[in-house]
Amino acid sequence: MLLLAQSYMHDLSPFAIRVGDGFGIRWYGLAYLSGFIGGWLILRWMARTGRGLLRPEQVGDFMTWMVIGVLVGGRLGYVFFYSIDLLWTFSGSFPFWGVLEIHKGGMASHGGIAGVMVACILYGLKNRITPWHLLDCVAFCAPIGLGLGRLANFVNGELWGRPLDPDRQSSPPWWSVKYPDEMLEPDFQHGSGVDGLATMVSNPNGEWGRQSLRDAVYSGRADVSDAISPYLTAYYPSQLFQTCTDGLFLFALLAIVWLRPRKPGLIGGWFMIGYGAMRIISEQFRAQYLTRWGVSSIWPAAGLSAVMIAIGLIMIWWCLRRTDDKVGGLLDPKALAARPSA
């Protein structure tokens, strides 16, 4: 017997400001922008207080390189790790190629990290700054964008977590979430039930159907939400879990490690270890998303995270062997004896 669920019914708009059909300022874009601005502010503060090798006037240029690294790496990572079919997807409307359709969503954090690493190496070689320190700077700022990005995923209603256990579906906890888009999936199990409710609403053309029910929920129809809720599955809010793990917890870990000056590369290594470990844990609640691509268990995200942990351990081992001077220190900044040349 289906009972009225206690879960949160997802009814958030992906647009902060909507100016047309499918166009406007999206929360996802604002999350990326806020992450970049937050990183810029932190790096400016580090440069002005002698906590880094970058000069204040170099921060803006460096951030431009990082933005390109995140966007290019994140998009290519999504394509190659999760949606390879975009390589041969073309349309008659701009931007014509599926790989370039970033406005539809689809960025992989692992790919973005790889893109940033390449950008740090190139910028460091060009400006005679050790890339290890640049990796530290980016790693320390990255949790801001990662956390906000996961929060934007929740607002967008994407990257669903896995369903709660069957014995909890009849009376799910308040923190679980249900998605009206589930009704539109081909394998939706309670189609006959929601089809019987379709006459509650109609679209401008006078047609009824599940799409109309879904649109009514997102337009604020509480009666429709209450009616369809018992037929929907309750999911773990994995996006919110990862907002905490990828954002708050990871930033706290790096801040603790960098309370004192460290050799260049150590913060980057700890980032790889911390992020990889937290992703492996949080992916346990997001396995449903991965199985949608025909992938068993929690691969590929957890597998990539394991590789990140291994790389982080190697980075720490290698950087501890180097003779570089220690840099940074949130509580104990020290003025650098020599400033780098441009």
Residue 166: predicted pLDDT: 92
Q: Write out pLDDT tens, residues 180-237.
A: 999 998 888 888 888 888 788 865 555 568 888 998 999 899 999 999 999 999 999 9
Residue 297 in this model has a pLDDT that exceeds 70: no
Per-residue b or e along 54-87, where b marks 16 or more CB atoms closer than 10 Å to that residue's CB:
bbeebbeebbebbbebbebbbbbbbbebbeeebe
Residue 103: predicted pLDDT: 61
Q: Which of 87-101, 132-146, 218-232, 298-312 has the lowest mean pLDDT?
A: 87-101
Q: What's the longest Cα–Cα distance across the chain?
A: 75
Confidence (pTM):
0.82
Q: Which of 105-114, 123-132, 333-342 has the lowest mean pLDDT?
A: 333-342
Specify the residue for token string 């992989």: 108
CA distances from 181 to 150, 174, 184, 205 (A): 19, 19, 5, 21
Residue 13 in this model has a pLDDT that exceeds 70: yes
Residue 72 in this model has a pLDDT that exceeds 70: yes
Span 99-117, mean pLDDT? 77
160 or 91, which is more confident? Answer: 160
Residue 218's nearest CA partner among 155, 152, 312 is 155
Instruction: Out of 161-165, 200-204, 251-255, give the one with best mean pLDDT.
Output: 251-255
228 or 110, which is more confident? Answer: 228
Residue 341: predicted pLDDT: 44
Residue 157 in this model has a pLDDT that exceeds 70: yes
Rg (CA), the chain: 23
Q: Percent helix, strand, coil in the chain (nearest 5)? A: 60, 5, 35
Residue 19 in this model has a pLDDT that exceeds 50: yes
Q: Which of 87-101, 105-119, 161-175, 273-287 has the lowest mean pLDDT?
A: 87-101
> Mean pLDDT for the chain?
85
Residue 108 in this model has a pLDDT that exceeds 70: yes
Reported as a pLDDT band with limits 50, 70 and 90, residue 99 is confident
Give the percent of the chain with pLDDT over 70.
86
